[in-house]
Chain A
Amino acid sequence: MSEAIKVARTYLRPDKKLPTVWCGGCGLGIIMSAMLRAIANVGVDKNKVAVVSGIGCTGRMPTYVDFNTLHTTHGRGLAFATGVKVARPELTVIAAMGDGDALAIGGNHFIHACRRNIDMTAVVANNQIYGMTGGQYSPTTPHGKRGTTAPYGNVEHAFDTAALAVGAGATFVARTSVYHAREAAALIEKAIRHKGFSVVEVMANCHTSYGRMNKFASPVDMLEWMRDNSVPVKAAERMDAKDLEGKFTRGIMVETEKPEFIQAYDELAERMVADPAAVAGVKKIIQAYDEMADQLKSTEG
């Protein structure tokens, strides 16, 4: 049995969830497959994985994968994921988001998740358009490119997702594309293994909406564009801004360490439990502190 079939049989839901809602040739299938191969390589128990999403084409990804899956409201995936992870830290939590979902309506949640450094992974599928609603321009649609709400060309400017994540304090940030499918799997795997908040941006083709309006005749043209216009991070360091115009960098942008939220919180809590002043402060409000604390600890999951 090939590795791909094995991964599919192990991690795709067995019961009537396929085919996906995605168009034939959509890049999201490659991203889903990269995510599954990454999870397989890390070797996490399926019961201990939660995949969370928001709304849009990418939002449908959790439906197909055999984990604890949570398809939430538009832009809020990371906020829900935060609750899941903080309530149950032993879970491996992955948030799958599109560019509109992560960076427009969910932009605030995105930067604060980067800042907080909770040990989970955001996979941002960036197809530079709102696909599900029919091709409206998104926060990553390049200046001048067309969308159904930018019929004469986009007058706004695009976010550089990875740079935004770096600026907001994410401790692991990487970017690749669906053309570089193996690299995508390897980067997502590294992101999952990273202790802290990790972001992997994967440039993806939406030939149906973006390609149709921006002179890409087929998904293959879009994949070739990714091949020809992506520059490895190292190579980009030797290039000037003019040479990089219209291209994107790929590879690991940041890989660093800072105290992880839950670990830091729990360490602090442990110190406070042993701190007479802190205990006295709580007892001032809660007379039945001892009994209630025992009760709460005994019901902990």
Chain B
Amino acid sequence: MQTLLRTPLYKRHAALGARLVPFAGWEMPVQYEGVIAEHRAVRTDAGVFDVSHMGELEVKGPRARELLQSLLSNDLDRIEPGKAQYTLLTNEQGGIVDDLIVYERGPDGFLLIVNASNREPDFDWLRERALPESEVRDVSDDYALLAVQGPKAVEQLELPGAPAFTFAPGKIDGVECVVNRTGYTGEDGVELLVAAKAAADLWDRVLERGVVPCGLGARDTLRLEVCYPLHGNDIGPDTDAISAGLGWVCSLDKDFTGATELRRIKETGPEQKLAAFVMDEPGIPRQGMAIAEGGEVTSGSHSPMLDRGIGLGYVPAELAQPGSDLTIDVRGRPRKASTVKKPIYKREES
């Protein structure tokens, strides 16, 4: 029997009556009041997610930048201290070992926030390739991470405005944290990196400000509506970055692991592409369902904003453009769907 890990906020979740489920080796809240209500709170107001299960890896030393430039797909020269970047850790085949956000803390220091289930593989990957003057440490246990997301998130926390993909030290009602202008919901918001021992305090302060506690159920429907891929579902070591539609985070003019293969795929064109689709008939697509025209669903759920089934899946490249007809095998019932432009849900600009 496997023992599930618990974040520093476990008792808070239990006290709130959260439904706790195993996720990537952790016992995590999937919902408090209900996935749909939590989803709507993030789209219209502000919600907070405990994402402390995510991993934090520190890369330091005079050759830290050189190491990361050779392993990460995006170009670190495009950012500077105080800025962050969405990037991929790629293998020789151009497959995606992980997708992550790298934070440049200073000229010689970077923090990588990685998927929970990839914390160890990523750490091993980096450490095995570390250069003499670079140091890689897994500091995940030192931190908790709270994502506060929604159009009113910044206002409710009384934080100053700041551009996306920047970060700076901050305080929420006296609790020190690093305020990252990042997220996984398609909404404005922040991710607060806090010392593990201050996490419960920070959580309490955030809730006192009227932010709605949200579980991983809503996190999944929110990210799917805006077509953020989920590692393990939509992307993985066997799916290359170009087919996954992540060419925009691959700087193919620099050298990094898998760059040669990715250049080749880009030039010849991928056979399959990760497409977004919405159901035209009743039924909810789910991971693993076959698509009659070729390929399969990699993520599927009910969209609370569109009130219908939506999904992502690899389809033959010629069907990936918006407006193609697909047929999803919903447990033996063929159901019509159409590919759409990403994101599936786009917030209305006010």
Report if A and B associate in a common complex.
Answer: no
Identify the B interface with A (CB < 8 A). none
- Residues of chain A at the chain B interface (Cβ within 8 Å): none
